[in-house]
């Protein structure tokens, strides 16, 4: 019997312990969630007992990994994927006491301010985090000096002008949500809400991206072709880690009080 070498990678020793069938079954996007979570965790001080929000966790593979590998308590929040399915996956992984699946919209999170020691997001922050107002809404859930950390697909540098010819068959209008680590640093740092401690790109990250696609989604021809043609010139994995500052964050406005004042519509009605 030939050993299954899928997703074995010396760069990611923790992730390499997990069965490839489980990794594929828990896939929820275009990246190996365990590889990205392991890379992100290298830049975040995680220890047993910390409260962590795994934002847009997909099928909660990253949440399970964080709980098993670092002993943290994780709230696995996602809008698109079933909390019931994630609960079953969490129970089967033996971490039901440390991972709490939640069905929630990233823009309407049901948590108390200052509840989390860290908020992480694996390969999903681009779906909502480019909004100039989003960081203000999200950071309020962090304790003072709490950590916000993301990892996912992105750009090596911003694309100015037209999309390169070799990417056009794959590129769709929504891909303009992809940005470089430098873009994310500026996007966060200028608010004063967080101090960005790290914003970088995974060396040869495009190869990890390509390996995931070829192994898990071999029928995704356009993306595989684009990654091969690009060879890391534009596409890769980015990581950004920041710490919440002491800047006071205003409570979000969710409704306005009803206070109707009847007045004449036209001057001639007065």
What strand order describes the sheet that includes 51-55?
99-103, 73-78, 51-55, 116-122, 142-155, 235-244, 194-201
Please tell me whether residue 209 adopts helix, strand or coil conformation: helix
Q: Are 20 and 6 in contact (CB under 8 A)?
A: yes
Structure-token pair, residue 211: 């390996």
Q: Which residues are CB-neighbours of 28 under 8 A, at least 6 positions away?
A: 57, 58, 59, 61, 78, 80, 81
27: left (phi over 0), alpha (psi -120 to 50) or beta: beta
pLDDT digit string (tens) for 28-78?
888 999 999 999 999 999 999 999 999 999 999 999 999 999 999 999 999
Which residue(s) pair with 52 in the sheet? Answer: 74, 118
| 1: confidence class by pLDDT, cuts 50, 70, 90 | very low
Tokens 């356009």, residue located: 222
Asked if 51 and 115 touch (Cβ cutoff 8 Å), the reply is yes
Rounded to 5 degrees, what are φ and ψ at 231?
50, 40
- pLDDT, tens digit (0-9, with 9 covering 90-100), for 74-115: 999 999 999 999 999 999 999 999 999 999 999 999 999 999
DSSP state of 76: E
Q: Is the pLDDT of residue 207 over 80?
A: yes
DSSP for residue 151 = E
Measured CA to CA in angstroms, residue 50 lies from 18, 45, 155, 175, 197 at distances of 23, 10, 31, 34, 20
- The pLDDT tens digits of the residues spanning 170-185 come to 999 999 999 999 999 9
What separation in angstroms does the CA of 222 have from each of 131, 155, 170, 232?
28, 17, 5, 16
Instruction: Tokens 């200028």: give the residue.
Output: 190
Buried b (16+ CB within 10 A) or exposed e, 180-210: bbbbbbebbeebebbebeebebbeebbbbbb
């Amino acid at each position: 019997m030939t050993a299954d070498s899928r997703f074995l990678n010396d760069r990611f020793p923790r992730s390499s312990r997990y069965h490839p069938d489980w990794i594929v079954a828990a896939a929820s996007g275009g990246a190996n969630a365990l590889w990205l979570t392991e890379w992100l965790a290298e830049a975040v001080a995680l220890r047993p007992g910390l409260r962590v929000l795994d934002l847009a966790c997909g099928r909660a593979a990253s949440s399970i990994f964080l709980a098993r590998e670092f002993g943290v308590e994780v709230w696995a929040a996602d809008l698109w994927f079933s909390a019931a399915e994630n609960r079953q996956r969490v129970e089967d992984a033996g971490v039901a006491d440390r991972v709490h699946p939640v069905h929630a919209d990233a823009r309407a999170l049901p948590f108390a301010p200052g509840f989390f020691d860290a908020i992480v997001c694996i390969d999903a922050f681009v779906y909502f985090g480019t909004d100039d107002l989003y960081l203000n809404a999200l950071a309020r859930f962090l304790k003072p000096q709490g950590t916000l950390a993301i990892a996912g697909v992105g750009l090596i540098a911003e694309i100015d002008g037209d999309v390169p010819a070799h990417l056009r068959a794959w590129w769709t209008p929504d891909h303009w949500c992809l940005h470089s680590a430098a873009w994310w640093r500026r996007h966060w740092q200028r608010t004063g809400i967080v101090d960005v401690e790290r914003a970088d790109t995974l060396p040869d990250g495009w190869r990890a991206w390509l390996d995931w696609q070829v192994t898990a989604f071999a029928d995704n021809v356009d993306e595989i072709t684009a990654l091969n043609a690009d060879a890391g010139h534009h596409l890769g994995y980015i990581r950004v880690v920041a710490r919440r500052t002491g800047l006071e964050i205003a409570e979000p406005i969710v409704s306005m009080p009803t206070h109707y004042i009847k007045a004449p519509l036209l001057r001639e009605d007065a």
